[in-house]
Amino acid sequence: MVQRQLPNPVELLELMKFKKPELDGRKRRLEGALTIDDLRLIAKRRTPKAAFDYTDGAAEGELSLTRARQAFQDVEFHPGILRPAPTVDTSVEILGGPSALPFGIAPTGFTRLMQTEGEVAGAGAAAAAGIPFTLSTLGTTSIEGVKAANPHGRNWFQLYVMRDREISYELTRRAAVAGFDTLQFTVDTPVAGARLRDKRNGFSIPPQLTLGTIINAIPRPWWWFDFLTTPKLEFASLSTTGGTVGELLDAAMDPTISYDDLAVIRDIWPGKIVIKGVQNIEDSVRLRDAGVDGIVLSNHGGRQLDRAPIPFHLLPEVRKAVGDDFTVMIDTGIMNGADIVAAVALGADFTLIGRAYLYGLMAGGRQGVDRTIAILRSEIERTMRLLGVSSLAELEPGHVTQLTRLVPVNRAAAEAHAR
């Protein structure tokens, strides 16, 4: 028999401790976001469709991006037990300097389109967190503007080698003078990928006002207020005539770039050079032998060649082929700190986040990027603790199994052939 009694008013009062309402709307929104997916939903509500789709979308059927995210979800972790790890150290040495976390911010073009604070928010948040920030050649803040936002931290510059080589060389020299320490030379854009969402939305740079964009703007007044009351949205380092992103990329990029360009850039750039957009083992080994400081296994967040290999699947074999002393970084599809832990366990020295950063930016400017970093940090720390490791160096391939949903149909034949 359950024993009943009259409710005790003192106990009831104790239960009724209501939280003080958070009056700062941005803070309330961001604190309610517990995952990067939560930030994505806030971003979607607050950003005009064309700008959100430019960020969220990928090329053609968006298969590369979907598969890359799925590959991270298909990780099985193997925790050790009864291994005391009272503290966790998430810091790493990368390309000759420190980073407080095993990820940095990837280069993204046209960042002020997503939210007016743009790269300044990204660089400021990176500075506060002690991680590197990468400015894109197609950035909307100048090299010097990023340096001012992150004066003591690590800034990296992403280079596109343009048809007009002198523009690229000049930017490289400027970044060196401003004290940027690493150059990411992106090589996966001989032509622009087919970003179908942009085509369907009639998205162009600078954005055009149509009846559709005006109707879409009505529930998003703050984005438009920012857009209309802050300096003009344009590439900070390039002068262009406008058009779709694809047209701009095609006009600017040179499909004939080669190892010769790498040699020229090497001569101009005094710091570290990594090649971004590497997608097979052979190129990884060749680049190591060519003397670059590292590579980024990446398919550009699925925005270029759709159905490209999943970087996370390439990682273990690339690591085996290039050996332990060559810097291998990875991006594409990272939405959770556990993805980063899995990548480090399988041999990545470092990772980059593109959309995870931009979702935070769209959800709440600088504070939103801070929130992205805080979410990833807590996921990394928790995953490490649950795995029973206290430093990133303790992570090893044995901590992770990559479950496969997608298996090459001819794998058995390929293996038989190899035997």
Ligand X SMILES: Cc1cc2nc3c(=O)[nH]c(=O)nc-3n(C[C@H](O)[C@H](O)[C@H](O)COP(=O)(O)O)c2cc1C
- The Cα–Cα gap between 283 and 274 comes to 13
Give the nearest distance from C-beta 382 to ligand X in angstroms.
Answer: 20
Nearest in space to 354 (alpha carbons), one of 143, 191, 149, 184: 184
Q: Which residue is nearest to ligand X (CB)?
A: 354
Q: Is 332 in the site for ligand X (CB under 6 A)?
A: yes
To ligand X, the closest distance from the beta carbon of 77 in angstroms equals: 21
- Work out how close the CB of 81 gets to ligand X at its nearest, in angstroms, rounded to a whole number: 32
Closest CA to 335 of 118, 106, 69: 69
Query: Between 121 and 138, whose beta carbon lies closer to ligand X?
Result: 138
Distance CA 132, CA 87 (A): 23
Residues in the chain: 419
Q: Which residue among 300, 319, 377, 399 contacts ligand X (CB under 6 A)? A: 300
Binding mask 24-63 for ligand X (x = CB under 6 A): ------------------------------xx--------
Q: Smaller CB distance to ligand X: residue 48 or 354?
A: 354
Q: Is the dihedral of CA 267, 268, 269, 273 positive or negative?
A: negative
301 binds ligand X (CB under 6 A): yes
β-sheet bridge partners, residue 296: 276, 329
Q: Which of 48, 124, 354, 368 contacts ligand X by CB under 6 A? A: 354
300 is catalytic: yes
Q: Which is nearer to ligand X, 51 or 384 (CB)?
A: 51
Return the range that interacts with ligand X (CB under 6 A); candidates 224-232, 297-305, 361-369, 387-395.
Answer: 297-305
Half-sphere exposure of 265 (CA within 13 A, CB side): 32
When the beta carbons of 237 and 389 are compared against ligand X, the nearer one is: 237
Evaluate the CA torsion angle 312, 318, 319, 320 in order and state its sign. Answer: positive
Among 193, 333, 337, 364, binds ligand X (CB under 6 A): 333
Q: Which of 300, 313, 399, 417 is catalytic?
A: 300
Which residue lies nearer to ligand X by CB, 107 or 124?
107
Q: Is residue 331 at the binding interface for ligand X, with CB under 6 A as the rule?
A: yes
**Does residue 158 belong to the site contacting ligand X (CB under 6 A)?**
yes
What is the token pair recorded at 218? 């009505």
Q: Which of the residues 208 through 227 are near ligand X (CB under 6 A)?
A: none
C-alpha 167/C-alpha 375 separation (Å) is 38
Q: How far apart are CA 108 and CA 139, in angstroms?
A: 7
* Count of residues that interact with ligand X, criterion CB under 6 A: 24
Which residue's CB is nearer to ligand X, number 147 or number 300? 300
Closest CA to 307 of 72, 75, 61, 71: 61
Q: Which residues pair with 162 in a beta bridge?
A: 253
213 near 207, Cβ under 8 Å?
Answer: yes
Provide the H-helix boundaries in 74-187.
Answer: 111-114, 118-129, 143-149, 165-177
Three-class SS state of 97: strand
Q: How far is the CB of 134 from ligand X (least distance, A)?
A: 7
Q: Which residues bind ligand X (CB under 6 A)?
A: 54-55, 106-109, 136, 138, 158, 186, 276, 298, 300-301, 303, 331-334, 353-356, 358
The catalytic residue positions are 300
